[in-house]
Chains A and B, each alone.
Chain A
């Protein structure tokens, strides 16, 4: 699971609503996966990022050199974009859990794939 994806995921446990974001990340196995740098794509993603959630996840994974927020003229700042590219797309959580911050419910990540399935009692109507 990449941190870009983590940044978009929210718990849908019944009654939790927007307090289900961000999911608390716990990783037991992480892999760094080199991905070809595409500055245009990374620049497109910057406006979609929820920075507090990203920084929290990056901190859990002990990542360094994570920009604290978008900077002026980021679209043309290659150094900034390369750092963001690494954080968002090259860090892959293989094993771990995502925890709903409100209900405590755990969603497992196995072989890089999060399992978001819940039973009916737990989900919103």
Chain B
């Protein structure tokens, strides 16, 4: 239990991947577990070392049971810009907080981690010896110690410019590791059922964390595809459902996405994917449905909506439409029921998605989705907004030299009243994004120019 008035500081060691996505993930998870993100550190930016205050060790452990962005967390006992500063910082750390982990019945070991530099064995031993002033009374056990203490030295981020002395050094008691191993165990490479645009496992867990998914939630994906995003939520104990306009994908039929495979096998559908990971009990249902024309009765059911809508590049954007409009591409499958496919303007799709989320999310529930962006024209005002939804975070992932996608997280803060009252408001707000309706053309414009260049140079 935290003593009142005492600040419990922890050191998070972050993975150097998906840099922009890390802070929103940690903030969302802390708020999920009743903590709040507080730190004395100025900026986080590119650094893997984050110092924050967390009210209790229990919250810290819960955080680590969910995060895929953080590698480890330590109870911070001291830090400084040099080893000397570290030692005086350690001398200022209250002894009564150290003693429970150092007493004579316990076993421990000390690990040295250096970042962007390699130390010799002698140098490491010297550092361990220098810590002898700490009241260690237990026995050293290198194989299975009860307590692990870590000395971490930060030599910066530039492998071409390694300083003689570290920029920062930290010392603390190791508490827990994060969930980065999920990235490998849930890798798309090993998954039974995949599509052309199945989400990278790490990002799908980040999305579930941005969405504050928790046990016994209902999570919905209106563009479910092969169900990859549902897997992450199911792993965290949520019950999952989804819809997709593509009959074949929902049923697990048609051509396979794997290189050496022609057709999908019987074990390839969303339910089978969940079964592969022992998560079948979280499967509610999937439906063939048009996300722009949802068939849910009026009410709020979903605790989170987590989705990757089609951008019109590798999967088409479609919706059902009347015979009067010119079709852009029709799936030839007698059983599927898409009579005419219209090209679905991206801005309309996000308008529908935000309205749908505002209507069907519980109060406090989150919408997490990817917004494709043509970077030369991007401005923040372009991010769709809605009077019932508050923007929580906006994280960029570059796709190519002139395109990126942004992971947008929104939280429902106001009850949805009447669909009509939002229509005229939103069409104004969506004007900045209208230009992105030709996202597909813009995406390919770079490709066309490059191909033309290559052809020209090969002819010379």
Q: Spell out A's residues near B (CB within 8 Å).
A: 1-2, 4-5, 8-12, 18, 20-22, 35-36, 38, 40-41, 44, 48, 50, 89, 110-121, 123-124
Q: Is B148 an interface residue when CB atoms closer than 8 A count as contact? A: no
Q: Is B321 an interface residue when CB atoms closer than 8 A count as contact? A: yes
Select from chain B the residue with minimum beta-carbon distance to A18: B298
Say yes or no: B239 contacts A41, CB within 8 Å: yes
Q: List B residues 218-253 near A (Cβ within 8 Å).
A: 239, 241, 243, 245, 247, 250-251
**15 other contacts beyond A35-B281, A111-B251, with CB at 8 A cut-off?**
A2-B284, A8-B296, A9-B295, A10-B296, A44-B216, A48-B299, A110-B335, A113-B287, A113-B288, A114-B285, A115-B289, A117-B288, A118-B320, A119-B339, A120-B321
6 residue pairs bridging A and B, Cβ less than 8 Å apart: A8-B296, A11-B295, A40-B215, A41-B216, A114-B287, A116-B289
Say yes or no: A116 contacts B284, CB within 8 Å: no
B320 contact set on A, CB distance < 8 A: 117-120, 123
Say yes or no: A114 contacts B340, CB within 8 Å: no
Say yes or no: A8 contacts B297, CB within 8 Å: yes
Q: List B residues 269-286 near A (Cβ within 8 Å).
A: 281, 284-286
Contact with A10, one of B215, B247, B297 (Cβ below 8 angstroms): B297
Select from chain A the residue with minimum beta-carbon distance to B360: A8
B250 contact set on A, CB distance < 8 A: 113
Q: Is B430 an interface residue when CB atoms closer than 8 A count as contact? A: no
Say yes or no: A38 contacts B289, CB within 8 Å: no
Select from chain B the residue with minimum beta-carbon distance to A12: B295
Say yes or no: B245 contacts A120, CB within 8 Å: no
Kindly state the separation between the CA atoms of A21 and B298 in the bound complex, as whole angstroms: 10
Closest 5 CB pairs of A and B: A120-B322, A10-B297, A5-B285, A116-B289, A117-B337
Say yes or no: A5 contacts B284, CB within 8 Å: yes
Q: Is B136 an interface residue when CB atoms closer than 8 A count as contact? A: no
Shortest CB–CB separation between residue A48 and chain B, in angstroms?
Answer: 6
Q: Spell out B's residues near A (CB within 8 Å).
A: 215-216, 239, 241, 243, 245, 247, 250-251, 281, 284-290, 293-299, 301, 320-323, 335, 337-340
Select from chain B the residue with minimum beta-carbon distance to A123: B293
Say yes or no: A116 contacts B288, CB within 8 Å: yes
Shortest CB–CB separation between residue B224 and chain A, in angstroms?
Answer: 11
Shortest CB–CB separation between residue B425 and chain A, in angstroms?
Answer: 18
B321 contact set on A, CB distance < 8 A: 120
Select from chain B the residue with minimum beta-carbon distance to A1: B285
Kindly state the separation between the CA atoms of A38 and B245 in the bound complex, as whole angstroms: 31
Kindly state the separation between the CA atoms of A108 and B53 in the bound complex, as whole angstroms: 55
Select from chain B the residue with minimum beta-carbon distance to A112: B285
A117 contact set on B, CB distance < 8 A: 245, 288-290, 320, 337-338
Shortest CB–CB separation between residue B348 and chain A, in angstroms?
Answer: 13
Say yes or no: A116 contacts B216, CB within 8 Å: no
Kindly state the separation between the CA atoms of A89 and B299 in the bound complex, as whole angstroms: 20
Shortest CB–CB separation between residue A4 and chain B, in angstroms?
Answer: 7
Contact with B337, one of A2, A36, A115 (Cβ below 8 angstroms): A115
Shortest CB–CB separation between residue B327 and chain A, in angstroms?
Answer: 12
Shortest CB–CB separation between residue A120 and chain B, in angstroms?
Answer: 4
Say yes or no: A12 contacts B293, CB within 8 Å: yes
Say yes or no: A113 contacts B297, CB within 8 Å: no
Select from chain A the residue with minimum beta-carbon distance to B362: A48
Say yes or no: A113 contacts B301, CB within 8 Å: no
B245 contact set on A, CB distance < 8 A: 117
Select from chain A the residue with minimum beta-carbon distance to B247: A115
Select from chain A the residue with minimum beta-carbon distance to B245: A117
Kindly state the separation between the CA atoms of A35 and B282 in the bound complex, as whole angstroms: 9
A4 contact set on B, CB distance < 8 A: 284-285
Say yes or no: A12 contacts B294, CB within 8 Å: yes
Kindly state the separation between the CA atoms of A119 and B323 in the bound complex, as whole angstroms: 9
Select from chain B the residue with minimum beta-carbon distance to A48: B301
Kindly state the separation between the CA atoms of A83 and B55 in the bound complex, as whole angstroms: 41
Say yes or no: B286 contacts A113, CB within 8 Å: yes
Select from chain B the residue with minimum beta-carbon distance to A45: B218
Select from chain A the residue with minimum beta-carbon distance to B250: A113
Kindly state the separation between the CA atoms of A94 and B245 in the bound complex, as whole angstroms: 19
Contact with A115, one of B216, B288, B294, B340 (Cβ below 8 angstroms): B288
A18 contact set on B, CB distance < 8 A: 297-298
Shortest CB–CB separation between residue A3 and chain B, in angstroms?
Answer: 10
Say yes or no: A10 contacts B322, CB within 8 Å: no
Supposing A117-B245, A119-B339, A120-B322 touch, asked if A9 and B296 sit within 8 A by C-beta, the answer is yes
Shortest CB–CB separation between residue A58 and chain B, in angstroms?
Answer: 17
Kindly state the separation between the CA atoms of A44 and B335 in the bound complex, as whole angstroms: 36
A114 contact set on B, CB distance < 8 A: 285, 287-288
Most chain A CB neighbours (cut-off 10 Å) among B284, B295, B323: B295
Kindly state the separation between the CA atoms of A36 and B320 in the bound complex, as whole angstroms: 38
Select from chain B the residue with minimum beta-carbon distance to A92: B285
